Amino acid sequence: PTTKNSDRACSLLLSDILPCLTISDKCIFWICCVYLVVYRKLPDAIVQRFECEKELSAVEWPSTHLTVDEKQQAVTLMEMAVDYLALYIDSESLESETTLKAAHLFAVNHIRCIAVLEGFECSRNLLDKYTSLYPSCLELVLMSARAQEHGFGDLSFVGFEEALSNWPEEAP
C-alpha cells in the first residue's frame, strides 16, 4: 500500500510539474530523467549550464553496465519522454527556432541513449527516422555519415556524400 501511495504521489507531482515547463524545458527534463536512471547522476553538459540560458545540449552517453531491468526502465522512460513530447512538438511549434533546436538535440540524445542501451542497430533505425523528420539538423546528418562509415569500412566518403545529397535545398 505504501508503494502505491508513493507511486500516486510521484505521478501527481509529475502531472503538476510538466504543464509548467516550456517545450525546451521538457526536452531537458526527459533527457535528464533517462540519464539519471542510467548513470545515477545528471549529465555534466547540463549541470555546467545551470544559471545560464536554458538549452538542451548534446550529452555524452558512455557505455555502462546495467541489469536487464535497469536497461528496460531507462528504455521505457525514454519511450515515455518521446510520447509525451510528441504531444507538444508539431509542425506549428517547430516554426520556433528554439523549439526546433530543442527537438534536434532531443533526437541526437535519444539516438545516443538507445545506442548505449540497445546497440548500434536499434539506434541506426532511430537515426533514419529522425534524419527524415529533421533533414536540416546538421548533427543528425553527421551522425548518419559516421554510421555509413561503419558500414562501408574504408569508403568513408560514401556516407558523407550520401548525407550531403539528402541535405534539403532550403536549408542553409
pLDDT at 126: 94
Nearest to residue 81, comparing CAs of 50, 40, 37, 51? Answer: 37
pLDDT at 56: 74
- When mean pLDDT is compared across 77-86, 116-125, 142-151, the lowest value belongs to 142-151
Q: Is residue 13 part of a domain?
A: no
Give 43-86 pLDDT, tens digit per residue.
988 887 776 666 677 888 899 999 998 898 889 889 989 998 98
Q: Is residue 146 part of a domain?
A: no
Burial group, residue 142, by CB count within 10 angstroms (0-12, 13-18, 19+): middle
> 133 or 17: which carries more pLDDT confidence?
133
Q: In Å, what is the CA distance from 160 to each residue of 59, 62, 126, 142, 154?
A: 23, 24, 18, 7, 12
Read off the pTM.
0.67
Q: Is residue 32 part of a domain?
A: yes
Q: How many distinct structural domains can be found in the chain?
A: 1
Q: Is residue 141 part of a domain?
A: no
Q: Is residue 55 part of a domain?
A: yes
| pLDDT bucket at 1, cuts 50 / 70 / 90 | very low
Domain of 111?
A: 23-134
Q: Is residue 113 part of a domain?
A: yes
Q: Is residue 9 part of a domain?
A: no
Residue 153 Ramachandran class (φ > 0 left, ψ -120 to 50 alpha, else beta): left
> 160 or 76: which carries more pLDDT confidence?
76
Q: Is residue 68 part of a domain?
A: yes
